[in-house]
Amino acid sequence: MPVVEVEGLSLRFGGLQALSDVSLKVAEWEIVGLIGPNGAGKTTAFNCITGFYRPDAGRVLYRGSEITRLATHERVGLGIGRTFQNVGMVKTATALENLKAAQHVHAGYSAMAGILGAPDSLAAERTLTDRAEDILELLDLTDVRHAVVASLPYGRLKLLELGCALATDPDLLLLDEPSSGMGPEDAAELGDRLLALRREFGLTLLLIEHHVPLVAKVCDYVYVLNFGRLLAEGDPEAIQRQPEVVAAYLGGEVPRDLARSTDPGGAS
C-alpha cells in the first residue's frame, strides 16, 4: 500500500488550469522526485496533498484512507510534514524557538497550563527544547541555535526549515526545492543527508527539485509535470531518455545532467 497516493487531481484558478488529472504515488521508504519547468504545477500539487488547496476533482489518499477534505493541521497530526518554496518560519524568532514551535502538535499541555507555568508544561517544555537541540545537532546547525532567523543565509534557512519539518515527527516528508540557495557542494551534501534521514528515521520523501544531479542521486522514481499535466514518469535513467522531457527543459540540459550524475565515472 502506498504511503501517499494522488488520483486524478485537477484544480483551476479562474481561467488557468493549474492541474489536470494528475496521479502519482509514493511507496514506503521511497524518495520520489517531482520535477518540471517553472509554473508546471508542482507546488500546487504539494498544496493539494498537504491541505492548503482543495482540488476541484480527484482525491488524496494517505495509507489507504482518503484525506482530501482534511484540514492541514489534521494531516500534520497523521504524520505528513512539509517545507515550502519560500521559507515558512517566524523570521523574528531564533532557530531554537522555531524548532520548538514546530513541535506544537506534540506539546502535550494546554495554552492555559503554559501561561500559568504548570509543572507538566515546564517538563514538556524541557522535552521540546531537548528535541530541538538534537535536531540542530543532526543538521550541523548548533552554531546558530540562538541566531534570529532573519539573519541567516538562505541556504542555512532552507536547512533549518528541513529541521522544523522533522520536528513535527513525520513519516512522510514533502520538500519543496530543498537545495534552493545552495551551491553544488552543499546540494551534494544535502543529498547525502536526505539518504541518511531515510535510513535512520524510516522516512518516506516526496520532493520538488530543480537541481537535477540531486534528483538523480537520491530519487528512486521521478514524475515530470508540464503545464499542469503529467508529462512522464520513471526512474531517473529512464526519464533522461524521454524526448518530451528534453523539450520541456529547453534543449537537453536535463538529460546531460542526469547522464553525468548517474554515470559511475562522472561527477555527482
Contact 3, 62 (CB under 8 A): yes
The CATH architecture one would assign to domain 1-79+170-268 is: 3-Layer(aba) Sandwich (3.40)
The full 3-state SS of 50-84, as one line of letters, equals HCCCCCCEEEEEECCEECCCCCHHHHHHHCEEECC
CA 114 vs CA 36, 42, 54, 121: distances in Å: 45, 39, 34, 6
**Amino acid at position 89, single letter:** M
* Whole-number pLDDT of residue 210: 86
Range(s) for CATH 3.40.50.300 in the chain? 1-79+170-268
- Altogether, the residues listed in the chain come to a count of 268
Residue in this structure with the C-alpha cell 488547496, named with its chain if needed: 53
* Whole-number pLDDT of residue 43: 94
**Amino acid at position 211, single letter:** H
* DSSP per-residue codes, 171-221: SEEEEESTTTT--HHHHHHHHHHHHHHHHHH--EEEEE-S-HHHHHHH-SE
* Whole-number pLDDT of residue 105: 61
The residue ranges of the chain whose pLDDT is under 70 are 85-88, 105-123, 249-268
Order of strands across the sheet with 80-82? 80-82, 172-176, 204-208, 31-35, 221-226, 229-234
What does pTM read for this prediction? 0.82
* Whole-number pLDDT of residue 114: 45
Q: Which three cell numbers stand for residue 10?
A: 485537477
Cβ atoms within 10 Å of 267's Cβ, excluding its own: 9
* Whole-number pLDDT of residue 246: 76
* Whole-number pLDDT of residue 23: 98
Phi, psi of 97 (to 5 degrees): -65, -40
106 SS3 class: helix
